[in-house]
Amino acid sequence: MGTIFSNTLEAVAPIKLKKVREKRTAPWYNSNTHSLKKKTRSLERKWRKTNLEVFRIAWKNSMSSYRQALKAARAEHIHKLIENNQNNPRFLFSTVARLTNNQTPPDLNIPAQFNSNDFMNFFTDKIDNIRNTITNVDSTAYNTLASFIAPKDKLQCFTAIGQEELNKLITASKPTTCLLDPVPTKLLKELLPVAEEPLLNIINSSLSLGHVPKTFKLAVIKPLIKKPQLDPSELANYRPISNLPFMSKILEKVVSAQLCSFLQKNYLYEEFQSGFRPRHSTETALVKITNDLLLASDQGCVSLLVLLDLSAAFDTIDHDILIDRLQNYTGIQGQALRWFRSYLSDRYHLVHLNGESSQLSPVKYGVPQGSVLGPLLFSIYMLPLGNIIRKYGISFHCYADDTQLYISTRPDETSKLSKLTECVKNVKEWMTNNFLLLNSDKTEILLIGPKDSTPNLVDYNLQLDGCTVTSSTVKNLGVILDSNLSFENHISHVTKTAFFHLRNIAKLRNMIPVSDAEKLVHAFMTSRLDYCNALLGGCPASSINKLQVVQNAAARVLTRSRKYDHITPILQSLHWLPVKFRISYKILLLAYKALNGLAPAYLTSLLPRYNPSRSLRSQNSGLLVVPRISKSTKGGRAFSHLAPKLWNSLPDTVRGSDTLSLFKSRLKTHLFGQAFK
CB 323, CB 337: distance < 8 Å: yes
Q: Which residues contact 476 (CB under 8 A, 6 or more apart)?
A: 286, 289, 305, 307, 402, 404
- Res. 108 pLDDT band, cuts 50 70 90: very low
* Alpha-carbon gap, residue 153 to 264, rounded angstroms: 12
Query: What amino acid occupies position 173?
Result: S
In the predicted model, is pLDDT for residue 339 greater than 90? yes
**pLDDT (mean) for 183-212:** 89
**DSSP letter (8 states) at residue 325:** I
SS3 231: coil
Region of poorest pLDDT, from 309-318, 337-346, 381-390, 593-602: 309-318
What's the predicted TM-score (pTM) here?
0.85
- Res. 106 pLDDT band, cuts 50 70 90: very low
Region of poorest pLDDT, from 454-463, 470-479, 556-565, 566-575: 454-463
Residues in the chain, how many?
677
In the predicted model, is pLDDT for residue 21 greater than 80? no
Q: Which residues contact 510 (CB under 8 A, 6 or more apart)?
A: none
Quick one: pLDDT at residue 83?
77
Query: What's the longest Cα–Cα distance across the chain?
Result: 118
* Alpha-carbon gap, residue 304 to 292, rounded angstroms: 12
In the predicted model, is pLDDT for residue 223 greater than 90? no
Most confident of 5-9, 109-113, 238-242, 326-330: 326-330
In the predicted model, is pLDDT for residue 454 greater than 70? no
CB 643, CB 538: distance < 8 Å: no
